[in-house]
């Protein structure tokens, strides 16, 4: 039995679909306040539903009983509820899950984190602390550190409005990033259950190519056959936003935008030798978004 924490999210939902397609029994850890339609979709996939909250240790232990592996994608950044914060979910909640997994006899733990940034900000500090606890836990661990998800950063929520030919670019837009599809991260997570190369490993993940944000716009322009309207958010404005943030989440969003601005190129050749997966390119994503 595999427990998926964050099962109603973009990444967690795709992991559940892959597990169902592979015929692997899994349990989805969801809150009583979770979107009922998403929970219904999980049931339709064959998921066993465990209700609880990462902030409530007894419910976490109950969800872990009878489980041999945990895959956690949980985060407060996109689906905040009352009482959620980086401190309570991304740090304390994930630590609860690791400790509960250890206490209930779980043997394997796959954590989806993110690729390290040179900047300090609360979300990064929480992720690194959780990674360190997992390494010291005695569980067989895999820590996946993907770069920027196409579906998030190249989507309208963050100003990349491909439907209307508009793109908001953070920083100069000239530094290259190894954009990755959330679906490919889900594949790495499920492949890590059985791949020996994933045992007690930290794996940075990127897509099949590295492109600057301006080059990404060029790909979309070519696919759509029209010019995009580009608006830049200067790096100085992002630094000011980070400095003047009034809460850890605001500071972390500014930190992530500065991470995007700085760029991050991941050499995937060795990883793809061990995990022979066909990765989605930015052009594939642009074509699917038409």
| Structural domain includes residue 176 | no
| Structural domain includes residue 283 | no
Q: List, for residues 35-45, the tens digit of each pLDDT value.
A: 788 888 899 99
Q: What is the pTM of this model?
A: 0.93
Residue 84: domain span: 2-147+181-205+265-277
- Which candidate, 174, 181, 173, places its Cα nearest to that of 281? 181
| Structural domain includes residue 131 | yes
Half-sphere exposure of 63 (CA within 13 A, CB side): 35
Across the chain, what does the average pLDDT equal? Answer: 93
Q: List, for residues 159-172, the tens digit of each pLDDT value.
A: 999 999 999 999 99
| Structural domain includes residue 75 | yes
pLDDT at 80: 60
pLDDT at 89: 86
CATH number, domain of 57, equals: 3.40.50.720
Determine the length of the chain: 290
Per the structure, the count of domains in the chain is 1
Q: For residues 213 and 56, give the distance between their C-alpha atoms in angstroms, rounded to a whole number.
A: 40
Instruction: Tell me the two tokens of residue 114.
Output: 């993110």
Q: List, for residues 56-97, the tens digit of each pLDDT value.
A: 999 999 999 999 999 999 887 766 666 678 888 889 999 999
For residue 99, pLDDT over 90 is answered with yes
pLDDT band at 29 (very low <50, low <70, confident <90, very high): very high
Q: For residues 282 and 11, give the distance between their C-alpha atoms in angstroms, rounded to a whole number.
A: 18
| Structural domain includes residue 107 | yes
What distances in angstroms separate CA 106 from CA 39, 139, 184, 222, one per listed residue?
A: 24, 8, 25, 49
| Structural domain includes residue 285 | no
Q: List, for residues 216-252, the tens digit of each pLDDT value.
A: 999 999 999 999 999 999 999 999 999 998 889 899 9
pLDDT band at 133 (very low <50, low <70, confident <90, very high): very high
| Structural domain includes residue 187 | yes
| Structural domain includes residue 231 | no
Phi first, then psi: give them for residue 55, nearest 5 degrees. Answer: -80, -10
């Amino acid at each position: 039995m595999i427990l998926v924490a964050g099962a109603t999210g973009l990444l967690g939902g795709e992991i559940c679909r892959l597990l169902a397609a592979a015929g692997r029994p899994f349990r989805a850890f969801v809150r009583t306040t979770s979107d009922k339609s998403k929970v219904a979709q999980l049931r339709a996939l064959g998921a066993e539903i465990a209700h609880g909250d990462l902030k409530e240790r007894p419910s976490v232990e109950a969800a872990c009983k009878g489980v041999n592996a945990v895959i956690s994608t949980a985060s407060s950044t996109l689906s905040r509820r009352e009482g959620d914060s980086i401190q309570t979910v991304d740090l304390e909640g994930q630590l609860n899950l690791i400790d509960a997994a250890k206490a209930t006899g779980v043997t394997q733990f796959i954590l989806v984190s993110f690729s390290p940034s040179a900047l300090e900000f609360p979300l990064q500090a929480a992720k690194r602390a959780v990674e360190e606890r997992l390494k010291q836990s005695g569980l067989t661990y895999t820590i996946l550190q993907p770069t920027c998800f196409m579906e998030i950063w190249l989507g309208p929520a963050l100003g990349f409005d491909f439907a209307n030919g508009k793109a908001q670019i953070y920083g100069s837009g000239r530094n290259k990033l190894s954009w990755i599809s959330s679906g490919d991260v889900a594949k790495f997570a499920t492949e890590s259950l059985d791949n020996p190369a994933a045992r007690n490993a930290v794996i940075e993940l990127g897509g099949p190519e590295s492109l600057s944000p301006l080059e990404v716009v060029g790909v979309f322009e070519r696919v759509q056959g029209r010019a995009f309207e580009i608006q830049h958010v200067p790096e100085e404005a992002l630094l000011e936003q980070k400095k003047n943030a009034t809460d850890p989440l605001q500071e972390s969003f500014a930190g992530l935008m500065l991470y995007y601005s700085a760029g991050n190129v991941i050499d995937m050749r060795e990883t793809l030798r061990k995990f022979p997966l066909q990765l989605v390119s930015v052009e594939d994503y642009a074509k699917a978004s038409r």
